[in-house]
Amino acid sequence: MRKPTVILRDCAEYDPEKIRHLVRAGLDSLHLRPNGRTLVKPNVVASGPRFPHAHTRPEFMEGVLRALKDRAASDTEEIAVGERCGITIPTRFAYKGAGYYEMVDRVGGVKMYHFDEETQVEVPLYHENRLRDSFFTPEPVARADFFVNCPKFKAHPWTTVTFSMKNYIGIQDDPHRLIDHDHKLDEKVRDLQYIIQPQFIAMDAITAGEGRMLTPIPFDMGLVLMGDNQVAFDAVCCHIIGLDPLSVPHIRMAHEEGFGPVDLSEINIIGDVPLGLAQERASAFRVGLVRVEDYFEGTSIRAYSGKPPGGEVDYCWGGCPGALEEAIEILRLYDAQCDDKIPPMHIVFGAYEGTLDVRDGEQVVFLGDCASFKGNIHGKPFELESVYVDRSEKSPYEATAEGIFTKMAKVTTKMATQGSKSAFRIAGCPVSVAEQVLLLVNMGKLNNPYLDKNQVIDFNNAYFSSRTRKTINRIFGQPYQRSGPTPRGASRPKQNLPPKGVKAPLEKR
Ligand code: SF4
């Protein structure tokens, strides 16, 4: 059997024509031609002048889209870009901030999908150890014939790194994305692989993102990476930064499920940059896995983390603690006095069994449904029980997500009614980055990024445009389809087959 291929190409600058040339050559060496419904999934988790390194750059996408058009087969129905960005921002706003609308206008003939506005299609899962029996994904993903993953090379505070596989968190809309976005996040990323596998991966590793995923520190790597197998691709990325791919749970689990190899001897590595040189360039790259207690050391926030439910792990990588790390970094971008303004406070995650050294006037915030504590606060006995609801009781069919203005109203009301108490809970599983930003805005009287005067008009336009389109879709279309249009073609992983005798909706055409 042919080995999966990963291509390492030298590219020091965001030159769309150079990137086009490299990507076209990459498609050529992999004998790939876009066809049918071709969908390109970038990483646009956040964008705009304050988030220049969080997303796949538009110059990169321009090169990729032009190369795809150059190589498109005659039966290509469309070439499209699709994404659901993060932190409760409308994808329209993220696309605009990233310069994607101008970019697709320059390329011409490219359709834009906003996954938060699209019909969501149910895709059943059959593999063992799955978290759920099905996923919802936007129709353009479910129906893609030629799927191109275009991630950004970044570190991640929940999953160590975000390379190709982790980019799949953006193939769900908010209600479904937040389900299992907790200490099972790596398993969720593994399961997402069953929705679709990319025929082609092209990664923006020209300027990589170190340390974090929303506000990464730029790290010049000067690489365009391409490949045809997601596990092999992520494994090579790990090797570039000196990380054992098996130490990243979602890569290990996808490998164990048969999605691809991690051993370099089973991967065909080609290109004009030898792996050793790529490793030299990335030798000081720092990943993002820092426990919240350590992350906030030396600040006015003292963080404490106990075990999340289930007893399998002792820390909720994937949930509330990492979201607090991203939240503080966003706030630092919008308020230079952020750290000085936040009063000394205590934030508790999970079932915390230690003590809390809370001084007069200081407050304790229990973040998340699973937070619990029994002990003393301000010298008085205090007990808070977990209100965690087991994931088996959360149905994707009933999943909802609040818009940013609802979140803002809820957090503000909560603070108005509870904010003077010595201790209170912010509920949720997870408590999203957006909610944690709003909590700290209230606690420290910080500038609110969602009301930033430089972007408020664009933000509101995108928000109301997106809401209107979703409402129209809900009235005239089918926002959710059960067992609806199904993935076609060879992109469906062969493991996603029904048990014998069970008719699979996936098999319908
Ligand atoms: S409430 Fe937060 S910390 Fe607890 S399990 Fe859920 S995501 Fe993790």
**Side chain identity, residue 131:** L
Q: Which residues contact 250 (CB under 8 A, 6 or more apart)?
A: 159, 165, 166, 185, 186, 187, 189, 190
Write out 309-352 in H/E/C secondary structure.
CCCCCCCCCCCHHHHHHHHHHHHHHHCCCHHHHCCCEEEEECEC
Ligand 1 contact, 260 CB (< 6 A): no
Q: How many angstroms is it from 152 CA to the middle of ligand 1?
A: 27
Predicted confidence at residue 419, as pLDDT, reads 64
Is residue 183 within 6 Å of ligand 1 at its C-beta?
yes
Q: Whose CA is nearest to atom 5 of ligand 1?
A: 308
Mean pLDDT of the chain: 89
68 compared with 456, residue with greater pLDDT: 68
429 alpha carbon – ligand 1 mean position (Å): 5
pLDDT at 18 over 50: yes
Distance of CA 430 to the CA centre of its chain: 14
Is the beta carbon of 330 within 6 A of some atom in ligand 1?
A: no
The verdict on whether omega for the bond into residue 430 sits within 30 degrees of 0, i.e. cis, is: yes
Counting atoms of ligand 1 from 1, which one is nearest the CA of 309? 5
- Ligand 1 in reach of 178 Cβ (< 6 A): no
Instruction: Look at residue 445 in the predicted model and tell me its pLDDT.
Output: 93
Instruction: State the sign of the Cα–Cα–Cα–Cα dihedral 95, 96, 102, 105.
Output: positive
State the pLDDT at residue 504.
39
> Cα–Cα distances in Å, from 322 out to 182, 212, 238, 427?
10, 10, 21, 16
CB 40 within 8 A of CB 76: no
Average the pLDDT over 268-283 and give the result: 96
Residue given tokens 């980019």 in the structure block: 167
pLDDT for 183 beyond 90 = yes
**Structural domain boundaries of the chain?**
9-229, 292-451
State residue 58's pLDDT score: 97
pLDDT in tens, 328-352: 999 999 999 999 999 999 999 999 9
Distance between CA atoms of residues 158 and 233, nearest Å: 20
The closest-lying atom of ligand 1 relative to the alpha carbon of residue 305 is 3
- Angstrom distances, CA of residue 491 to CA of 35, 71, 487: 12, 18, 8
Report the residue among 384, 431, 433, 436 best suited for mutation to probe ligand 1: largest number of ligand atoms under 8 A from its CB.
431
State whether the beta carbon of 369 lies less than 6 angstroms from ligand 1: yes
Least confident stretch, 202-216, 357-371, 478-492: 478-492
- For residue 431, give the ligand 1 atom closest to its CA: 2
| Banded pLDDT at 89 (limits 50, 70, 90) | confident
Q: What SS3 state is found at 200?
A: strand
Q: Give the model confidence (pLDDT) of 109-119 as tens digits.
A: 999 999 998 88
Q: Please tell me if the CB atom of residue 241 comes closer than 6 angstroms to any atom of ligand 1.
A: no
**What pLDDT, on the 0 to 100 scale, is given for residue 508?**
27
209 Cβ neighbours under 8 A, 6+ residues apart: 53, 54, 152, 153, 154, 155, 216, 217, 218, 219
Calculate how far, in angstroms, residue 427's C-alpha sits from the geometric centre of ligand 1.
9
Sorting pLDDT into bands at 50, 70 and 90, what band is 458?
Answer: confident
From the CB of 425, is ligand 1 less than 6 Å away? no
Answer yes or no: is the C-beta of 323 below 6 A from any ligand 1 atom: no
Q: What is the DSSP string of 118-160?
A: SPEEEEE--STT-SSSEEEEEHHHHT-SEEEEE-EEEEETTTE
- Three-class DSSP category at 224: strand
Confidence class for position 478, pLDDT limits 50, 70, 90: low
pLDDT of residue 161: 92
pLDDT mean over 278-289:
91
> How many angstroms separate the alpha carbon of residue 503 from the centre of ligand 1?
36
507 vs 45, residue with greater confidence: 45
- So what's the pLDDT on residue 494? 42
Q: What fold characterizes domain 9-229?
A: Rossmann fold (3.40.50)
Q: What is the mean pLDDT of residues 482-509?
A: 39
CA 432 / ligand 1 centre spacing (Å): 10
Maximum Cα–Cα distance across the chain: 75
Q: Is the CB of 370 under 6 A from ligand 1?
A: yes
DSSP 8-state secondary structure symbol assigned to residue 226: E
pLDDT band at 157 (very low <50, low <70, confident <90, very high): confident
Burial of 481 (0-12, 13-18, 19+ CB in 10 A): middle
Task: Tell whether ligand 1 has an atom less than 6 A from the beta carbon of residue 116.
Answer: no
Mean pLDDT of 466-487: 65
